[in-house]
Chain A
Amino acid sequence: MSRDIKDVIRESIKGDRAAQKLLYDTLAGKMYGLCIRYARDETEAREILQDGFVKVFQHLGKFRFQGSFEGWVRRIMVNTALERFRKEDHMTASIEDIDFQDPPGRENILSELSAQDLLQIIRELSPQYRVVFNLYAIEGYSHKEISQMLNISEGTSKSNLSRARSILQERIKRLNKTG
């Protein structure tokens, strides 16, 4: 961690608005990119971002200056997104009656898609799949960790991940056809 960012954090802890704004400007783009992956739309992404940064500044004094500050903020953002998700109680929903088939693939289609395309596809997932896919595939959490974070079984986490992947493949295929 650079000396500069530490100074900015310390000033922010003291309530210096300019320092807080600087911290926000430094991380807001990346954090909004994270939020938008967990949210169903821009409005929700903005709310997660705002709620998350309010928590960051309220708890900034607890940051021990060990490890990455960006990683600390990122965890707060993920937790904020999960809090909203848990409140809406998505995990108990079931779609057992829906048959998803693994589509025959052209994996190389993936390399042709832009980040915006991928973002759009991931946001079209239902919340429980979107969250598990984000946590596992992008954030790198294990199924055990995800099961604890979301209060679900590891089996459910694996099942949701599998179905999320299937849906993503189906959407990518459809996107390719229409494109």
Chain B
Amino acid sequence: MVRMEKKGKHIDEVFRERLSDLNVTPPTDAWSEIEDRVHRRKMILFTVPRLVAASLLLFVLTGSLWLIFLREPSDNGLADQPVFSSHTQKDLSSAEQAKTKNIALPAGENIRKTARPAAKKGSENTTSGKAAKKAKTTPLYSASHTVPMTSGISVVNSKEAPEIVPAIQLAFMTPKNAVVLYKLRNITPALDNNLLNQYIQAESLPVSPVLKKQPGKKGTWGIGGDFGPVYAYRHLSEGSPQIVSYLNAVENGMVSFAGNVSFFYERNRRLTVQSGIGYYRLGQEVNDVVAFRMKKSGELAILKSKGNDFINVSEGKLGYSGTPVFVANRKAPGGNDQVEFLLIRLGADTYEPVDVQLKQELEFVEIPLLLRYKVIDKTMGLNVIGGIGTSVLVKGQTSVISDQGTTLIGDLYELQKTNFNGTFGLGLSYSISTSLRLRLEPVVKYYLNPVYRSPEISTHPYSIGIYSGMSFYF
């Protein structure tokens, strides 16, 4: 014991003498980074609260713009709207004979009729091009001309509006909502279709195709689903440049998949709100890994980095739970073994190295809140999609890919469970019928908060997916 102590002290002295003032030239570019870090201004980091606040602000701004520019016109804005399509102008001539009619309404419904003031000044030649042209620029009605109704809808009589156009041009007002029939392309669900049909039948009015129900009408609901391949990877921020550089060199994105079931609320023909539930499998592959295969059994027994004995990854901390024992980290949760000492203990005649890959997979369930704006509103339409989502991490695990196949080795630790992401995309849509649409949408999703944070790095997963799906509108 005394001999050991003496020997130990002797070793200590030798190392102290030779190494305590050891002078080693540092890397030549080490200073430049120190200088940068000492003098650079602190970057304004987008923390999670700031990002959430920014997202909400964006949402509010988008909503405000929509309210200002895109919402359905109220009765005050009717003068700016186109009145007739050429098709309806032609059809209307046959219904011009309609003058004063009464149609029963559901009991208790209080409806007002309005007559446009300009009609009083006009002639009865309502179907002439001149009149139609005039109708495009003249308000159809105003509040000062509303006439209380007691039990039904009346066609405005000729005395009040001598040039009155056929019934389909009438303006009806309910206490809650103005429903304007003349705006054929934007008939709202608030209009009682039965009532309209009764009137059309009673007057033998020609029914224009534009009266058919179309998707995109105000207040339409729909459901749908999307599924597609995604390219998943991550962005590293706030980190040590060396660690970030190393991880970027040894890690790669991977192809995975994602899907969702959604419901839609089409506020108007162009703007749709979407929510639902989605499943996203993201992750990455790690290349700087070598496994040691037991010569006798052929099993992969030990796992380590090629350069070090520590496997450094950017998406969570590795752990192992599989058998045979994989040492996926210097200190695996629940395990005692260390790579370095295991290798010493096993000896080189026991194992042989094999190149392998690690595959990290993160599975999220997400509830999104998206806005879709239809830029091109045709049979083949184009949408711009944007919004935010809350996602919950339901699984984080690691597998080893070797020449023996894929082996699950354990879970990932220290990952953020609840996360927020931002979504942006473009969407092509094709209307098969009035109720059914197909979609093809390239979408980018970026996690606003770090899903994994260590002293060296902050990890933000992202995905670029091409989703295909369909939606059905009621």
Contact = CB atoms under 8 A, between A and B. Distances in A.
A75 to B, nearest CB: 14
B456 to A, nearest CB: 9
Interface residues of A, number: 62
Contact of B11 (A89, A94, A97, A169): A169
A50 B30 contact: yes
Nearest to B340: A126
B26 A138 contact: no
A41 B288 CA distance: 16
A54 B455 CA distance: 16
Given A43-B246, A118-B14, A137-B16, A90 B331 contact: yes
Given A24-B31, A90-B331, A92-B331, A136 B455 contact: no
Contact of A110 (B11, B26, B243): B11
A93 B336 contact: yes
A46 B34 CA distance: 11
A40 to B, nearest CB: 6
B308 interface: yes
B307 interface: yes
B319 to A, nearest CB: 13
Q: Which one of B12, B309, B310 has the greatest number of beta carbons of chain A within 10 Å?
A: B12
Interface in A32-74: 32-34, 36-37, 40-43, 46-47, 49-50, 53-54, 57-58
Given A43-B242, A90-B331, A122-B15, A54 B310 contact: no
A107 interface: yes
Q: Which one of A96, A126, A165 has the greatest number of beta carbons of chain B within 10 Å?
A: A165
A87 interface: yes
A111 B14 contact: yes
Nearest to A137: B12
Q: Which one of B19, B39, B246, B344 has the greatest number of beta carbons of chain A within 10 Å?
A: B19
B144 interface: no
Nearest to A168: B11
Interface in B20-48: 20-27, 30-31, 33-35, 37-39
A93 B242 contact: no
Contacts of A36: 22, 24
Contacts of B38: 20, 54, 57-58
Contact of B18 (A42, A58, A115): A115
A28 B11 contact: no
A119 B24 CA distance: 11
Given A28-B31, A33-B24, A115-B19, A50 B37 contact: yes
A49 B14 contact: no
A70 B309 CA distance: 33
Contact of B19 (A33, A43, A57, A111): A33
B325 to A, nearest CB: 12
Contacts of B341: 95, 98, 126
A100 B243 CA distance: 34
B11 A47 contact: no
B30 A136 contact: no
A162 interface: yes
B240 interface: yes
A29 interface: yes
A34 to B, nearest CB: 8
A47 B23 contact: no
A114 B17 CA distance: 11
Contact of B15 (A34, A95, A96, A118): A118
A14 B420 CA distance: 43
A4 interface: no
A136 B16 CA distance: 10
Contact of B31 (A21, A87, A161, A162): A21
A138 B19 contact: yes
A105 interface: yes
B2 to A, nearest CB: 13
B16 A95 contact: no
B35 A119 contact: no
A57 B34 CA distance: 9
B33 A50 contact: yes
A30 interface: yes
B31 A29 contact: no
Interface string B3-16: 01001101110111
Interface string B374-387: 00000000000000
Nearest to B31: A24
Given A17-B39, A89-B331, A119-B19, A54 B26 contact: no
Nearest to B38: A57
A28 B310 contact: no
B34 A95 contact: no
A102 B4 CA distance: 8
B242 A165 contact: no
B345 interface: yes
Contact of A93 (B37, B243, B246, B331): B331
B34 A54 contact: yes
20 contacts: A20-B35, A21-B35, A28-B30, A29-B24, A32-B24, A32-B26, A33-B23, A37-B22, A43-B246, A46-B242, A57-B34, A84-B455, A87-B455, A92-B331, A110-B11, A115-B18, A138-B16, A165-B8, A165-B11, A168-B11
- Ordered nearest first, which 6 A-B pairs have the shortest CB separation? A33-B22, A137-B12, A32-B26, A29-B23, A33-B24, A115-B18
Given A50-B34, A138-B12, 6 more contacts: A30-B23, A33-B22, A37-B22, A92-B331, A110-B14, A161-B8
